[in-house]
Structure 1
Amino acid sequence: MADKTKKPLLSDFPAITTEQWMDKITADLKGADFERKLVWKTNEGFNVNPFYRSEDLEGVKYLDSLPGEFPYIRGTKKDNDWYVRQDIKVVNAVASNKKALDVLTKGITSLGFCFCNEIEDFDTEVDTVLKNIISEAVELNFSTKHGSKKLLKAVVANLKKNNRDLASVKGSINFDTLGCLTTSGKTCQGFEAMFDHAKEVVEAGANLPNFKTICVNGRLFNNAGSSIVQELAFALSMGTEYITQLTERGVSVNDAASALKFNFGVGGNYFMEIAKLRAARMLWATIVKSYKPAGLEPTKMAIHCETSQWNKTIYDPYVNMLRTQTEAMSATLGGADSLTVQPFDTIYKESDVFSERIARNQQLLLKEESHFDKVTDPSAGSYYIENLTNSIAQQAWALFVEVEEKGGYLAALQEGFVQAKVKESADKRKKAIATRRENLLGTNQFPNGNEKVAEVAGNVTSSSAKCCSGDTVIEPIVKFRGAEEFEALRLTTERAAKTPKVFMLTYGNLNMRLARSQFSANFFECAGYETIDNNGFATVEEGVEAAKAAGADIIVLCSSDDEYVDAAPAAFKAINGEAIFVVAGAPKCADDLKAQGITNFVNVRSNVLETLQGFSSQLGL
Structure 2
Amino acid sequence: MANQKEKLFTEFPSVTTEEWMAKITADLKGADFEKKLVWKTNEGFKVNPFYRSENTEGMKTTDSLPGEYPYVRGTKKDNDWYVRQDIKVVDIKAANAKVLDILNKGVTSVGFCIKSDAVTAENIEALLNGVCLEAVELNFNTCNKKSLELTKILVDYYKAKNVNVMNCFGSVNFDPFKSILKKGKDNNEWIAQAAEIVKAAAELPRFRVLSVNAHMLSDSGAFSYQELGYALACGNEILNKLIEAGLDATLVAKKIKFNFGIGSNYFMEIAKFRAARWLWAEIVMAYSPKCPNECPNKTGDGLCRCAAKMYTHAQTSTYNMTVYDAHVNMLRTQTEAMSASIAGVNSLTVLPFDEPFKSSDEFSERIARNQQLLLKEECHFDKITDPSSGSYYIENLTNSLAEEAWKLFLATDEKGFYEALKAGSVQTAIQESSDNRFKALATRREVLLGTNQFPNFTEVAASKIVESGSCGCGCGNSEGSEFKALPKTRLATEFEKLRLATEKHGAPKVFMLTIGNLAMRLARSQFSANFFGCAGYKVIDNLGFETVEAGVKAAFDAKADIIVLCSSDDEYATYAPEAHKLVQGKAHFVVAGAPASMDELKAQGIEHFINVRSNVLDTLRTFNAKLGIE
How high is the TM-score relative to the length of structure 2? 0.95
- AA paired with 1:620? G
Partner of 1:239: 235
SS in structure 2 of the partner of residue 261 of structure 1: strand
Distance 1:444 1:6 in 2: 49
Residues 1:425 and 2:433 aligned together = yes
Residues 1:205 and 2:201 aligned together = yes
Distance 2:383 2:469 in 1: 36
- AA paired with 2:223? S
Residues 1:124 and 2:122 aligned together = yes
Distance 1:348 1:337 in 2: 29
The answer (yes or no) to whether the contact 2:509–2:540 under 8 Å persists in 1 is yes
Distance 1:27 1:9 in 2: 29
Q: How does 1:172-183 map to 2 (within 5 A)?
A: 172-183=171-182
Q: How does 1:48-67 map to 2 (within 5 A)?
A: 48-67=47-66
- AA paired with 1:137? A
Q: How does 1:485-496 map to 2 (within 5 A)?
A: 485-496=494-505
Closer, same or farther: CA 89–396 of 1 in aligned 2, 3 Å: same
Distance 1:3 1:352 in 2: 54
- AA paired with 2:55? D
Partner of 1:156: 155
Displacement after TM superposition at 1:293 (Å): 0.5
Partner of 1:107: 106
SS in structure 2 of the partner of residue 275 of structure 1: helix
Distance 1:127 1:401 in 2: 44
Q: How does 1:279-294 map to 2 (within 5 A)?
A: 279-294=275-290
Closer, same or farther: CA 170–392 of 1 in aligned 2, 3 Å: same
- AA paired with 2:129? K
Partner of 1:507: 515
Residues 1:389 and 2:398 aligned together = yes
Residues 1:585 and 2:593 aligned together = yes
Distance 2:66 2:116 in 1: 43
Residues 1:353 and 2:352 aligned together = no
Displacement after TM superposition at 1:423 (Å): 1.5
Displacement after TM superposition at 1:463 (Å): 11
Distance 1:156 1:240 in 2: 26
Closer, same or farther: CA 461–226 of 1 in aligned 2, 3 Å: farther
Displacement after TM superposition at 1:183 (Å): 2.1
Which of the residues 337, 340, 350 maps onto 1:331? 340
- AA paired with 1:336? V
- AA paired with 2:77? K
Residues 1:599 and 2:595 aligned together = no
Distance 1:181 1:463 in 2: 16
Any idea what the Cα deviations from partners look like across 1:175-199, whole Å, max 9, x if unmatched?
1021332221103xx41x1221111
Residues 1:250 and 2:246 aligned together = yes
Distance 2:390 2:535 in 1: 45
Partner of 1:436: 444
Partner of 2:299: none
Distance 2:96 2:408 in 1: 43
The answer (yes or no) to whether the contact 1:184–1:467 under 8 Å persists in 2 is no
Distance 2:362 2:472 in 1: 27
Distance 1:391 1:287 in 2: 18
Partner of 2:486: 477
Distance 1:246 1:197 in 2: 10
Distance 2:117 2:248 in 1: 32
Distance 1:362 1:347 in 2: 18
SS in structure 2 of the partner of residue 421 of structure 1: helix
Residues 1:262 and 2:262 aligned together = no
Closer, same or farther: CA 446–13 of 1 in aligned 2, 3 Å: same
Any idea what the Cα deviations from partners look like across 1:543-597, whole Å, max 9, x if unmatched?
1111111111100000111110011111111111111100000100001011111
Any idea what the Cα deviations from partners look like across 1:152-187, whole Å, max 9, x if unmatched?
222222222222222321010111021332221103
Aligned Cα RMSD in Å?
1.7
Point out where structure 1 has 5 or more consecutive residues left out of the alignment.
none
Distance 1:212 1:449 in 2: 47
Displacement after TM superposition at 1:459 (Å): 2.4
Q: How does 1:397-408 map to 2 (within 5 A)?
A: 397-406=406-415, 408=416
- AA paired with 2:209? T
Displacement after TM superposition at 1:251 (Å): 1.1
Distance 2:388 2:95 in 1: 39
Distance 2:207 2:350 in 1: 22
Which of the residues 543, 559, 569 maps onto 2:567? 559
Partner of 2:140: 142
Any idea what the Cα deviations from partners look like across 1:395-432, whole Å, max 9, x if unmatched?
000110011122x1011112222122112211111111
Any idea what the Cα deviations from partners look like across 1:136-160, whole Å, max 9, x if unmatched?
1100001012511122222222222
The answer (yes or no) to whether the contact 1:233–1:397 under 8 Å persists in 2 is yes
SS in structure 1 of the partner of residue 185 of structure 2: coil
SS in structure 2 of the partner of residue 495 of structure 1: helix
More off after superposition, 456-465 vs 139-148: 456-465
Distance 1:184 1:169 in 2: 33
Displacement after TM superposition at 1:461 (Å): 6.5
Closer, same or farther: CA 461–221 of 1 in aligned 2, 3 Å: farther
Which of the residues 369, 375, 380 maps onto 1:371? 380
Displacement after TM superposition at 1:58 (Å): 2.0
Moved beyond 3 Å, runs of 4+: 2-9, 460-471
The answer (yes or no) to whether the contact 2:116–2:474 under 8 Å persists in 1 is no
The answer (yes or no) to whether the contact 1:502–1:552 under 8 Å persists in 2 is yes
Displacement after TM superposition at 1:468 (Å): 5.0
The answer (yes or no) to whether the contact 2:85–2:349 under 8 Å persists in 1 is yes
Closer, same or farther: CA 135–393 of 1 in aligned 2, 3 Å: same
How high is the TM-score relative to the length of structure 1? 0.96
Closer, same or farther: CA 198–285 of 1 in aligned 2, 3 Å: same
SS in structure 1 of the partner of residue 103 of structure 2: helix
Distance 1:81 1:511 in 2: 52
Partner of 1:82: 81
The answer (yes or no) to whether the contact 1:70–1:285 under 8 Å persists in 2 is yes
Residues 1:616 and 2:607 aligned together = no
Closer, same or farther: CA 123–322 of 1 in aligned 2, 3 Å: same
Displacement after TM superposition at 1:471 (Å): 4.4
Displacement after TM superposition at 1:322 (Å): 0.7
The answer (yes or no) to whether the contact 1:347–1:461 under 8 Å persists in 2 is no
Identity %: 57
Q: How does 1:519-558 map to 2 (within 5 A)?
A: 519-558=527-566
The answer (yes or no) to whether the contact 2:337–2:350 under 8 Å persists in 1 is yes
More off after superposition, 543-552 vs 23-32: 23-32
Q: How does 1:206-221 map to 2 (within 5 A)?
A: 206-221=202-217
Partner of 2:525: 517
Displacement after TM superposition at 1:8 (Å): 4.6
SS in structure 2 of the partner of residue 174 of structure 1: strand
Partner of 2:8: 9
Distance 2:2 2:243 in 1: 62
- AA paired with 1:290? A
Distance 2:12 2:377 in 1: 39
Partner of 2:183: 184
Any idea what the Cα deviations from partners look like across 1:261-308, whole Å, max 9, x if unmatched?
000000111000000000000000000010110111110000000001
Displacement after TM superposition at 1:123 (Å): 1.1
Displacement after TM superposition at 1:368 (Å): 1.1
